[in-house]
Amino acid sequence: MADSYNEPENDSDDGYDAAFDQHRAALYDMLMEYADEHDLSDSFMAVLASDIGLSLRMVAYASETEKPSVGGLRLDLDRYARELGDSVRDAKKYAAEFIAEAKAAQEAEGAEEDEAEGEEDDEGADDKAGRPS
């Protein structure tokens, strides 16, 4: 059922990795845009995305399995739980790097905001300087 343009058949294929990264980035951007539009927190979005992922995994099992069964679905959900566990363990390995990058991004954002406020103050001072008191 894989579309050769969107989802390479071979998971070890470089094309799969490229397609995964491309689609992940696009979906992430769409989710973040939706979250911004509706003023939703990142933690709330994580719960929603996880719930959608679980639902999609169940639908995939039912639609892609020739003879789906309750037992088969349970086994597939066990596999899914292991895959998620592997992902979390991998994320933990890079926790220090992630936090360092997040702090740097926050500091850069704060510096940009301070700079923008400084420019606004300078503009206001210029406006007042030209007016008689």
More confident residue, 90 or 5: 90
30-43 burial, b at 16+ Cβ within 10 Å, e below that, comes to: ebeeebeeeeeeee
Q: Is the pLDDT of residue 5 over 50?
A: no
Q: Is the pLDDT of residue 1 over 90?
A: no
Sign of CA dihedral 23, 80, 54, 70: positive
Q: How many CA atoms lie within 13 A of 60 on its CB side?
A: 11
Average pLDDT over residues 82-96: 97
Average pLDDT over residues 64-92: 97
Residue type for position 73: L
Cα 7 from Cα 64, distance rounded (Å)? 15
Write down the pLDDT at residue 13.
81
Cα 2 from Cα 28, distance rounded (Å)? 22
Residue type for position 98: F
Q: What pLDDT digit, counting tens, does each position of 51-70 carry?
A: 999 999 999 999 999 999 99
Q: Is the pLDDT of residue 41 over 90?
A: yes
pLDDT band of residue 133 (cuts 50, 70, 90) is very low
CA angle 79, 89, 58 (to 5 degrees): 25
